[in-house]
Copies of this chain bind each other. A is one copy, B any other.
Amino acid sequence: MEKVAIVQKMPEKVSLIHGAGGEMMQSLIGGVFATIKNNNAGGIGLEALDDGAAIPFGDKFIVLTTDNHVIKPIFFPGGDIGRLSISGTVNDLAMMGAKPIALTNGVVLPEGFPIEDLQKIVKSVDEALEEAGCALVTGDTKVLPREALDSIIINTSGIGITDNPIRDCGLKPGNKIIVTGTIGDHGIAIIAHREGFKFGSELKSDVAPIWKTVEAALAVGGITAMKDPTRGGVANVLNEMAKKSGVRIVIQEETLPFRQDVRAAADMLGLDPMEVANEGKAVIGVEADKADAVLEAVRKTKYGKDAVIIGSVEEGSGVIMKTRIGGQRFIEPPLGDPVPRVC
């Protein structure tokens, strides 16, 4: 199967799913961008396709990461594109085990964009920076004609520092898998809001910079792998982590933490909350004897209260879910996140 995917001819044109964070995006990145030969500055480079790169510097590593944010709408329940852009980049640094230090702000605006909206976005950028304990130190501003671009795009790149980068490929049989909170909140909140659905309680994005939650986990030790379940959701990152680590992940359905209203909305929308983006969560692999201590440390933090152990790592391949009723089934990686423009 995999061989077929690799020899598969590239399509002639880019389609929406090439930007949706699943297997189709991975094939575009692998087939086009990952062909770049100047791909490593020492340490962990583009070849690793991890949450960021890590460059040795003295006895430490500088982690570098980048994300474009094209979410629609730009103001949504629980946050806005400003909070999202800082959180997304802080979280990718955190996933590499790095304390976030300095971020960039690459803004592309359509002509006619309201300055008031820009000011609101900048305010929430500043609040998220404050929360994450890092700074925005440089930026760029371009403006395109109205007919060339429909809404603001923000690229946020960033650097962080670590003694020891955490990979997404370090899972070992016997490890436990922790998820730091409820699954699917961001993706389901965005699509429900966009479709104008009304539910009992208002669904909210979980968008948050979670460095402090991750820092608490790292302080305990025993962390073997981390990844933030953004586009493609938990289903996608579990598959990526299992594949890159050369292991099987087995999760227990009854442990999976979902908000009641997220599950209800997902059902109505015909979506699987495991396949949609989270913007304030981490999936963490941890040595078995440290798992309870990491869980406890994470739960003491603001964004880790609902953390649970959802499964463990075995020899083999793929991601298997043991269902509530005693069966088991593969959790497949999505071809792409079902929610367009989710981040």
Interface residues in chain A, defined as those with a beta carbon under 8 Å from any beta carbon in chain B? 10-20, 25, 28-29, 32-33, 35-41, 45-46, 52-53, 55, 57-58, 62, 64-68, 70, 101-102, 104-116, 118-119, 122, 125-126, 129-130, 134-145, 147-151, 153, 155, 157, 159, 161, 340-341
Cβ–Cβ contact A114 & B144, under 8 A: no
Q: In the complex, what residues of B have CB within 8 A of residue A55's CB?
A: 101-102, 137, 159
Cβ–Cβ contact B155 & A122, under 8 A: no
Expressed in whole angstroms, the Cα–Cα distance for A10 and B114 within the complex equals 11
Cβ–Cβ contact B33 & A130, under 8 A: no
Expressed in whole angstroms, the Cα–Cα distance for A49 and B53 within the complex equals 26
Q: In the complex, what residues of B have CB within 8 A of residue A36's CB?
A: 122, 125-126, 129, 136
Of the residues B11, B130, B140, B147, contact of A66 by C-beta under 8 Å: B140
Cβ–Cβ contact B16 & A66, under 8 A: no
- What's the least CB distance linking A166 to chain B, in Å? 15
Kindly report which residue of chain B lies nearest to residue A17, judged by CB atoms. B143
Expressed in whole angstroms, the Cα–Cα distance for A11 and B119 within the complex equals 12
Q: In the complex, what residues of B have CB within 8 A of residue A153's CB?
A: 68, 108, 153
Kindly report which residue of chain B lies nearest to residue A115, judged by CB atoms. B10
Cβ–Cβ contact B143 & A16, under 8 A: yes
Q: In the complex, what residues of B have CB within 8 A of residue A70's CB?
A: 108, 142, 144
Expressed in whole angstroms, the Cα–Cα distance for A8 and B147 within the complex equals 29
Q: In the complex, what residues of B have CB within 8 A of residue A68's CB?
A: 106-108, 140, 142, 153, 155
Q: Besides the contacts A19-B141, A38-B135, A45-B137, what 6 more A-B pairs have beta carbons closer than 8 Å? A: A19-B109, A32-B118, A38-B129, A64-B159, A66-B106, A67-B140
Residue among A15, A64, A118, A137 having the largest count of chain B Cβ atoms under 10 Å: A137
Known: A14-B115, A38-B126, A136-B46. A141 touches B25 (CB 8 A): yes
Kindly report which residue of chain B lies nearest to residue A65, judged by CB atoms. B138
5 closest A-B pairs by beta carbon, nearest first, are: A19-B143, A53-B137, A157-B157, A155-B155, A38-B129
Known: A141-B25, A159-B159. A115 touches B38 (CB 8 A): no
Q: In the complex, what residues of B have CB within 8 A of residue A129's CB?
A: 36, 38
Q: In the complex, what residues of B have CB within 8 A of residue A142's CB?
A: 19, 68, 70
Q: In the complex, what residues of B have CB within 8 A of residue A17's CB?
A: 143
- What's the least CB distance linking A29 to chain B, in Å? 6
Kindly report which residue of chain B lies nearest to residue A14, judged by CB atoms. B113
